Structure formats: C-alpha cells, structure tokens
Structure 1
Amino acid sequence: MGHSTIQKDFYRESGKYLSHFQILKKCFSPNLHYIYWLRNAQKHSKPSLLGKIYRLILRHYQIKYGFQIYPETEIGEGFYLGHWGHLVINPKAKIGKNCNIAQGVTIAQANRGKNEGVPIIGNEVWIGPNAVIVGKITIGNNVLIAPNAYVNMDIPDNSIALGNPAVITSKMNATEGYINNKI
C-alpha cells in the first residue's frame, strides 16, 4: 500500500507512518496542523467545492499561525516545518522533497534585476530561522542555509550558505543530522 503525501509529511516528524486518526491527534501542533490543511487544499482544484472549502479553512490557519504558504506552491513529499511562526513562501516557488523550513523564513520573488523571478529549491534542503531566499535562483540538493542568511544567488548541491550576503562553502554531508526521517 502506498502512503499519502500527508503520511509522508508526518513521517518526517515521528519516523513512523501514521493512521488518519494518529495524524489528527498530532494536529495539536500548529506546524503539523497547517501542513494537514495545506495538503488537503492541494489535493483539490481551486474551483471545486472541496477546493474552496479547504482553501477557506487554510486561509483561517494562515492568519492564526502566521504561515503564508499557498496550495499553488509546489512542495515535495516529506515537507517539515520545524516551528510555527511567521513564514512567507511565494506561491510560484518550487520546493523539493524532504525539506525543512524554520520560523521567520522568507522565500520571495525579485521584481527587477538579473534574478527577477522566484526560487527553485532542491531536495533535502534545511533552511534555518529568519533566512531570506529571493529571486530566480536555484538551490541545489543537500544544502544547509544557515539562520539569518540572505541568499540571492544559485547554491550548488552539497553546500552551506552562511551570512548576509551568503558565503557558500562546499560540504558533502551539509544537512547530516539536520534532516531526519527522510522518506
């Protein structure tokens, strides 16, 4: 039997595939609760009745928890929000599998200049608190973006981005110990 995207997201938190009832019990945590409603909204098209209902519920929790993540955002399985609190992700951004995003992160569009557009983020990327990722850039796989980093350039696979502006250091196991319970 295959596991749903919600089960794969919740696996990242517990290391276990949970039943629907067990998932609902975990929804007391605001970050998991938000992921639950986000994934349900993503399953249904916007014009459908269920799509409208799920988006209305999601909007309520966007305001309540401070997450600005939209159903239109492409997010791979194994998505993990480490903490809850202000978080902004442009709806056109793309995020890979097994990604962790901490509180205070902004993933934004640049409206002018050579990097006009939105970021594409690879698999197994850990984004620390208050990091800013902006523009039409590509973040590779196995990348750690340190807390408070400002990233407006491509980051290759197997790297650490640290500082403002970010300085990139090559590191083979960049996210080891940071991204647990991979799917």
Structure 2
Amino acid sequence: MRDLVEDDQDRYFGTRTRKARIKSYLFHPGFLTISLHRFAAWHRQRGRNLLADLFWRFNVLQSGCHFHFDSRIGPRLYLPHPVGIVVGRGATIGKNVTIYQNVTLGQPTETGGYPAIEDDVIIYPNSVLVGGITIGAGAIIGANSFVNRDVPAGAVASGVPARVHEKSARRSA
C-alpha cells in the first residue's frame, strides 16, 4: 500500500488543491486503474482471494486492463490512457514508468520469461514486449513496436522487430 501513496503525485494530480485532488482520486482513469490493481494484489498477498478477485474484475471491467496479481509494479507508474494494457505474471516494472494504451508485457512461450522494465522508461501505444528481456533505465519504446531483445539504458527502440535507433536525450532521474 506504500506504493499507492507514492502514486499520489504531480503526474496525476498537477494542482494541490483539495478539490482537485479529490476529483483526481475519483475520476482519473490511470490512478483508478493502478489503485485497483494495488488493492487486489494487497488482498491476494493476505489470502483474501475473493476480495482480490472482485477488485481485479472491477478493474478489468472499468479499464480493460489486465495486471496480474504476481507482477511487481514500482511506485509512480503513470497510465495516461489506461485501456488494453496487459501485464503478465512475472513482469517487473520500475519506478516513474509511463505506459500508454494497448501495451502488452508478456512471455512468448510457457518456458520464456517476462520483461523487466527499469526506472524512467516510456512505452508508447500498441507496443508488445515479450520474453525475459530488460528495458534499461530511461529507455523509450516507440509506438507499434515489437520488442523481444534487451534495450540498453537511455536508448530509443522502435519497429517490428524493434531496433535501437539512437541514444535518448533524456537522462534518468
């Protein structure tokens, strides 16, 4: 639940007025999606499977996103348009990551691993990341990319299959 408190930040709430914050808590779809996932995972860890399943189901119905209970999601995950995002069982997401709509983090086969996303990564819409790959800190994954190989820190990767095109001008915080 500590990560939920860290999700309460300027990326979602912008202003710090009480009215604006309450409105964001209730109506920002990205914050609602990650909050419901964190509630579901928290209940699953405590053996309250019925409550966990109810939170998970409500999350899927309201956002169309499927975050597996066992995925590890760091603080300050930002979902500007949380529709159709799939995060598989073993996926790991670091802090300050931005994920746009229709992104999949999964495994290619039963024996394959899951992606590990390091801190400060941006994953643009309709991207698929599969296998036991690592996306380095500060990397950018372009829209409509299929990534099945490691992406170094600070790099920009795009295409099908994704190729590293250049180093990003962004720097990790």
1:13 match: 12
Shift of 1:72: 1.6
**How much does 1:53 deviate?**
1.3
1:75, CA displacement in angstroms? 0.5
Instruction: State the identity as a percent.
Output: 32
Q: Is residue 134 of structure 1 aligned with residue 130 of structure 2?
A: yes
Q: CA deviation at 1:61?
A: 2.0
Q: Which amino acid is the alignment partner of residue 69 of structure 1?
A: F
* TM-score with structure 1 setting the length: 0.81
Of 5-14 and 141-150, more deviation after overlay is shown by 5-14
Q: Deviations over 1:97-138 (max 9, x none)?
A: 11011001111101178xx22111111110000011011111
Distance 1:175 1:127 in 2: 16
2:90 aligned residue (75, 80, 92) = 92
Residue 84 of structure 1 and its aligned partner are, at CA, apart by 2.4
Q: Which amino acid aligns with 1:119?
A: P
Q: How does 1:12-161 map to 2 (within 5 A)?
A: 12-15=11-14, 22=21, 25-46=24-45, 48-49=47-48, 52-111=50-109, 116-161=112-157
Query: Distance in 2 between the 1:171 and 1:34 partners?
Result: 31
Structure 2: give runs of 5+ residues left out of the alignment: none
Shift of 1:38: 1.2
Given that 2:44 and 2:52 are in contact with CA atoms closer than 8 Å, whether structure 1 keeps it comes out as no
Q: In the alignment, which residue of structure 2 is the partner of 1:173?
A: 169
Residue type at the aligned position of 1:133: L
Q: Name whichever of 104-113 and 66-75 sits farther off.
A: 104-113
Q: Deviation per CA, 1:61-113, whole angstroms, max 9, x where unpaired?
A: 21332101123210111111110211111121111111011001111101178
SS at match of 2:27: coil
1:163 aligns with one of 153, 159, 165: 159
Please state whether the residue corresponding to 1:44 is helix, strand or coil. helix
Number of positions where the alignment pairs a residue of Structure 1 with one of Structure 2: 171
Return the letter of the residue paired with 1:84: P
8 Å CA contact retained: 2:139, 2:168: no
**Cα drift, residue 57 of structure 1:** 2.1
Cα distance, 1:10–1:47 mapped onto 2, change above 3 Å? closer
Asked whether the equivalents of residues 46 and 52 of structure 1 are also in contact (C-alpha less than 8 Å), the reply is no
Q: Distance in 2 between matches of 1:174 and 1:39?
A: 29
